[in-house]
Structures are given as C-alpha cells and as structure tokens.
Structure 1
Amino acid sequence: MNWQEFIENRNRFFWLLHIGGWIGFALVHYLGSLLHDLRDLFTWVVILSAYAGALFSIPLRYIYQKAWNLSPLKIAIVIIVSSYCAGLLWQVVKNITYWEIYKHGWRPDFWLYYAQSAVWSFYIMLSWSGLYFGIKYYQMLQQEKQKVLKANNMANQAQLKMLRYQLNPHFLFNTLNAISTLILIDENKTANGMVTKLSDFLRYSLDMDPMKKVTLSQEIKAVNLYLEIEKVRFEERLKITFEVQNNCQNALVPSMLFQPLVENAIKYAIAVKENGGTIAIKVSRFANDLQLEIADDGPGTEIINGNLHRENGVGLVNTKDRLSALYDNNYSIVVSDNIPTGVKINIRIPFQLEHDE
C-alpha cells in the first residue's frame, strides 16, 4: 500500500496521528526535563505519562463519533465534559506514577492532591479534541470537494458525449438522404458503394471514445473516410488538399473535429457550385499551440460576430461547445473570409502529445 492510500484510510490515518502525537508529546517533555536537570529516572515518568495519555484519549474518539450528529452546542458540551473527565483520570495516573517512581512510593495525606494540576491535563485533552474535530472537518471538506469535482467532471463528460453524439445522427441523416436520392434515380451501384463506405465510417466513429482525444493522423483518417462517402456523390467536383507539418502528426485533437466543419463546407461551398470546389486543411505548430485551418473556395457568406450567417445546424456551434468543454478558455476559433472567395475557419488549441495527457 502506498503512502497516498495509507493517508486516505481514515482508521490508519487516525492511529498514525494519534501515536505520532503522543510520541511528540513525550519527546517535548523529555527535552523539558533536560533543561531542569532532572534525574534519568524521570524519563520513565515521561514515557508512562505519555502512554497513559494515549490510552485515556482513545475513548474520546468513539464518544465523539457517537456525538457527531448532535447540535453544535451539545457537541461543545460533550467535548468539554469528556475532555475534563479524561484529563482528570489521566492526571491522577500521572501523579501516582510520579510519586511511585520518582518519589519512591510517597502518598499525599489529602485525596484532592491526586487531582493536582488536572487543569493542565484537561487543556491537553481539550487540545487533542480540537485537533480531532479539526482534522475530521478538514477531511469532510476535502471529501465534499472531491464529490463536487467528480460531479463537475461527470457533468462535463455527459456534455461532451451529448455534443459528440449529436454528429452521427446529423451526418447519418444527410448521407441516408443522399443514398435514397441515388436509389430513386436508379444509381444503385453508386448507392451500394456509398452504403459500404458509410458502414466503414460509422464503425470507425463508434470505435472512437468520444471522451478521448485522438492523434491528428487518426483524425485525418476519419476525415478521409467521410470524404470517400461524399466523393461518391460529387465525384470530381470535390477536391481536398492537406498541408500538415511533420511534427504535428502525433498531436492530439478532439475526435471528429474536422468532420462537421468539412460537412458544412461541402454543403455551402461545394454543392452550390456547378464545378464544385476545393477544401483545404492546414495544420501547423506555433510555440505551444496547434493551429488548424479549414478553408473553402465557395461563394462565401456574411460573417456576423464571428459566426456564419448560413450556420443553422450543429456544425460550428457544436465544435465551439466541444472545444470549450475540453479546453476551458485555452482555445480560440476564428471565422473569416477566405481570399479570394470562400470561408476560412482557424482553430487554436494547446499542442499536446499522448504522454502529456
């Protein structure tokens, strides 16, 4: 068992602090005896005193566990009464031990002397109680903090899954609609080829964990699978170019990042032009950032506050939401006019490799 697991085990952690605390108490008193030039025999008095204090403070733990759910006032009363009783008994044992060992069996004439200096012992037990409750409340706060972090993480994962799984129905609807059109115009061979490629793409998509990032090379493979489907529809009208720096192939990106953006470009830039067009994907690294660019040479559209006027689906909005969930504020996405025509989308995310995750 490693140290972290040992600390997280509350029972073991209690005994570690309990024993360590009383050893420290004994050590401080021993050093104090050296300052007063007491005999070596006093060392046994110190050891037995610490041992008795450790024994009398153990029942306090179980008393406080029973009183844990009481009101604050009742808990305070329990702490004071329990600490005083434990301190009083401890002081009696300390006095008897001191008289027996250091005073060679001397006994006082009046019984109240057995409780002599009980206030000091009560103070020690009260301090022990304060540390016990302080540590318990700290552990509770840490536990609640972990619960909140876990809940936020689960909510974040749920959001990512929801955003990620929005893509497949959207894409599937468009593709099935295209296959239906091909069948209606008796392009059965072409439709069959599209079904086969669609099957490959969906298998790849379902194999990808939506909660994990993938390497850029894997993401390009996914885009190519998607484009193979679209090329069945557009044939030579659809052209695509990749320009990827060699040091970016293993960089991590959100899975299916390019697909909705490429789909938008095909829908609004390629499909509307008789001769089709070109979609250019560029990836480069700049310092600690990965820069991605998706550009088309279509007719373009009005850009309002960084959003496409034509955008009415889940593509760009979904991408922004996923980037926000994955990178918080450490990302940017900029939509601008492509020169001479078309739309360009630039994305900046942290440059990460697999071992950085």
Structure 2
Amino acid sequence: MAGKYANRHAMNADHLSALHENAGSRAELRRMTRQLGAIYWFSVFIITSLLWHFVGVDAWESAPGKLVWIGASVAITFAISALILRWRHLSFLHKAALCFVLTLLCSPFSASVDFLIASWYMWPAKPAFAPRDFVYSLIENSSFFFGWACLYVAMLYSHEVRQQERRLAVIREEALTAQMRALRYQINPHFLFNTFNSIAALIEEGMPNEAKRMVVVLSEFLRTTLTLDPFSDVRLDREIALQQDYLAIERERFSDRLNFAFDIPPPLSGALVPSLILQPLVENAIKHGVGQARAPIVVRVDARTAEQKLILTVTNDVAPGDGVAERPSIGIGLANVGERLTARFGDRGRCKAGYNDKGEWEAMIEMPLCAE
C-alpha cells in the first residue's frame, strides 16, 4: 500500500513538473513572439516611411494611416503565428507550404485595408479602384507576411531547440546524479564486509571487549557517513576526520601493526572534495599493506596543490618480500574512485596508483581545487 502511494506521489510530482515546464515554455514563446513582432513591424514602419518619402509622400501626414495598416497587419500576423504554432509538428516542407498558403489568404485582406486607408485620405473624393495598384499592394503585403511567417518558423525552431537542450541537460544531470549515487553506495558494502570480518576475527581470537568497542565505533562512523549527501562535496578536514574514525576502527584489530599519519596544510582544510572519496584508498592500504604485514606499517594521507589542482595521496609501507609482481589487484576500490572523479570532474579528475621511488605503494587523487 505504501509502495503504491509512493508511486502515485512520484507520478503526480512528475505530472506537476511537466505542467510547470509546459506553462513556462508557452510563456517564453509568447514573450519571444511579442518581441519579434515589435521589432519586425517597427522595422516595416521605418522602411515604408522612407520609401513613401522618396516617392513624394510626407512621412508625418502618412504616419496615422501606416499605423492603422500596421495594427491590422499585426492582428493578421498573430493569426498566422497561431496557425503555424498549431501545426508546428509538420515537416519543414509542409511548414513552408503552409506559410505560402497563409500568405496568399491574408494578403488580399491587408491590401483591402490599404485601399480603405487610401480612400480615407482622399475623402470626400471617391477613388477609383485600380487593379494594377491593388496587385502592387498584394505583392508588397505578401512579401511582408511571408517574411514574417518564415521568421516565425525560424524562431519556433530555435525555441524548440533550446527547450530540447534544456531537457537533455536535465536528463544528463539526472543520469550523472544516479551514476554518482551508485558509485558512492558501492563503498558501504565493501567497507562493511571488511569491518564485519575484522569484528568476527576479534571474536574468534577471544577478544569480545575489543569487538564490542569496535561495533560501537562502527555505529558512530555509519551514523556520520549515512547523513552525507552522496552527490555533495565536503570539506577536506571533515573527510580526513571520517578517515581517522575509520582507521580508529581498524586499529582495534591491527593495534600492533597499524600506524597512520596525516599531513594536511591548514590552508587546504576548507578545500571541497567528494564525500568519502578517500575511503576506498585507505581501505586498500589497510587490506594490502597492514593486512599482509607482520611488522608495523604506516599509512600516510597527504594533501598538496599544483596548478590549481588538489592532489591527495594515500601511501603505505610495503612489507618485506612483497615485490611489485606480487602486488595484489586493488579491485573495485581504485576503479570506483576513478569513475566517481570522471563523473564529477570529467578529464580534470583522475586517480592512479603504483609504487613510488621509495618503494612504497601510493594511490593519488587529482581534482580541481575548489574552496568552500
């Protein structure tokens, strides 16, 4: 029942979102049409005034008549626009034919208005109907209306392209969010698997108090990490604090072998990083460094900057006899971090690992330097 209610609620939310999007699209289209119409017919007014001036007609005396004609033409223009909008799903050739047909239908009406305005200027004389002048007026009005129809089709196409780009941007953002969440949540099962194995090992070794303390520390750690938004960034000092809590959990098991150190310059404490981005690398250092060593191993986490990039490194000592060829695969950990960085930063984020010049195993994260 709860599932059905949740699904219905989600569908209603999607429906309301679509309605708001459509309403916003229609409002934007109306605004664009008004702006284009104002610019277009103002230009026509200026052009016709200049042309009439060159043929000896006073621009000021003819202005009222031109304004009446333009007012009628604007009404015709919006009628043409409404019909084109109604059939906006037609193919390009069909739209072109529609523009031509609408121009032929509307031009006689506009030419008749033009003739009535001329008659008004000549009143009380009654002008004779001149077919040739009427044809000239038809041609002139046809050019104006066909020009408007073509401009409106181009504007409509531009509007649809922008709307499609916005929808694709939203889809890409949602897909990126889903991918980031999936990659982020891959960490928790891997971490819990290792931690529960550590607790089981403590119980098998007859150390129930240590196991109990480890469970308490684990619960506090999970309470903190589960409140984090998988798609948000956190301050570097908070990320380091989470890793210190994790290492405190692991130290319950490897108290005689695990040592850790952090070198985070104070100016970088406020740098923003994806939440728990260091977790798989620290886990890897514990598993393949401390877990396979008999002597004490040091896990170090360092931070530095270079060329406006934040560089984080997790380094661990290598147990004697653990050669390069014998280094186990780090599996999902490094791949997870690399995929998260790529999804978040594109080619500006990367993760790599290998032996450094000191013979230590080093995993390095590189990402753009962003401050809070």
1:19 is matched with which residue? 38
277-286 or 102-111, which moves further after superposition? 102-111
CA distance in 2, matches of 1:202, 1:32: 79
Please tell me whether the aligned partners of residues 92 and 115 of structure 1 are also in contact (alpha carbons under 8 angstroms). Answer: no
C-alpha distance 243-7 of structure 1, shift in aligned 2 (>3 A): farther
Residue identity opposite 1:152 in structure 2: R
The answer for the alignment partner of 2:233 in structure 1 is 213
Equivalent of residue 81 in structure 1, options 101, 119, 124:
101
Alignment correspondent of 2:19: none
1:63 maps to which residue?
Answer: 83
Letter aligned with residue 124 of structure 1: F
Name which of structure 1's ranges 16-25 and 92-101 shifts more when overlaid on structure 2. 16-25
Report what 2:217 is aligned to.
197
For residues 104 and 36 of structure 1, the distance between their equivalents in structure 2, rounded to whole angstroms, comes to 23
* Structure 1 residue 36: Cα displacement: 4.9
Query: 1:344 — aligned with what?
Result: 362
Partner residue of 2:158 out of 119, 126, 138: 138
Does 2:255 match 1:228? Answer: no
Distance of 1:266 and 1:260 partners within structure 2: 10
1:240 CA displacement: 0.9
| CA distance 1:236–1:36, shift in 2 (3 Å) | farther
Extract unaligned runs of 5+ from structure 2. Answer: 1-23
Q: Show CA shifts across 1:278-322 (max 9, x none).
A: 01111112231111111111235537xxxx951253111111111
Residue 335 (structure 2) aligns with: 317
Indicate the residue corresponding to 2:324 in structure 1.
Answer: 302
Q: Within 1, Cα distance between the matches of 2:365 and 2:90?
A: 56
Cα shift readout 1:311-337 (whole Å, capped 9, x = no counterpart): 253111111111111111113333232
SS of residue in 1 equivalent to 2:48: helix
Q: Is the 8 A contact 2:114 2:137 kept in 1?
A: no
1:3-36 Cα distance to aligned partner (Å, 9 max, x none): xx79962223222322342233223333444555
Q: Which residue of 1 aligns with 2:196?
A: 176
Greater CA drift, 109-118 or 319-328: 109-118
User: Does the 8 Å contact 2:314/2:363 carry over to 1?
Assistant: yes
Cα deviation digits, residues 129-161 of structure 1 (max 9, x gap): 101111111111112222222222222221111
- Residue 333 of structure 1 corresponds to 351
| Residues 128/186 of structure 1: CA separation in 2 closer, same or farther (3 Å cut) | same
For 1:34 and 1:249, locate their aligned partners in 2 and report how far apart those are by CA, in whole Å. 73
Moved more, 338-347 or 159-168: 338-347
Q: Which amino acid aligns with 1:286?
A: A
Q: Structure 1 301/119 Cα, relative in aligned 2: closer, same or farther at 3 Å?
A: farther
Aligned match of 1:93:
113
Tell me which residue corresponds to 1:44.
Answer: 64
Cα separation, partners in 2 of 1:41 and 1:103, compared to 1, 3 Å: farther
Q: Is the 1:334–1:345 contact (alpha carbons within 8 Å) kept by the matching residues of 2?
A: yes
Instruction: Give the counterpart letter for 2:46 in structure 1.
Output: L
Distance between the aligned counterparts of 2:50 and 2:91, measured in 1? 41
Contact 1:84 1:125 in 2 (8 A): no
Q: What residue number does 1:284 align with?
A: 304
Write the distance in 1 (CA, Å) between the matches of 2:96 and 2:317: 75
Greater Cα offset, 252-261 or 70-79: 70-79
What is the CA distance between 1:110 and its match in structure 2?
5.1
State the one-letter code of the partner of 1:90: S
Hey, what's the Cα distance between the residues in 1 that align with 2:51 and 2:39?
18
**RMSD of the TM alignment (CA)?**
2.4
Amino acid at match of 1:302: V
Q: Pick closer, same or farther for the CA change 1:235–1:200 going to 2, 3 Å.
A: same
Whether the aligned pair in 2 keeps the contact of 1:41 and 1:102 (CA below 8 Å) is no
The CA deviation at 1:253 is 1.1
Moved more, 43-52 or 292-301: 292-301
Deviation larger for 312-321 or 162-171: 312-321
| CA–CA separation in structure 1 for the residues paired with 2:241 and 2:196 | 22
State the distance in 2 between where 1:65 and 1:6 align: 13
Counterpart AA for 1:342: E
| 1:187 to partner: Cα distance | 1.7
- Structure 1: runs of 5+ lacking an equivalent: none
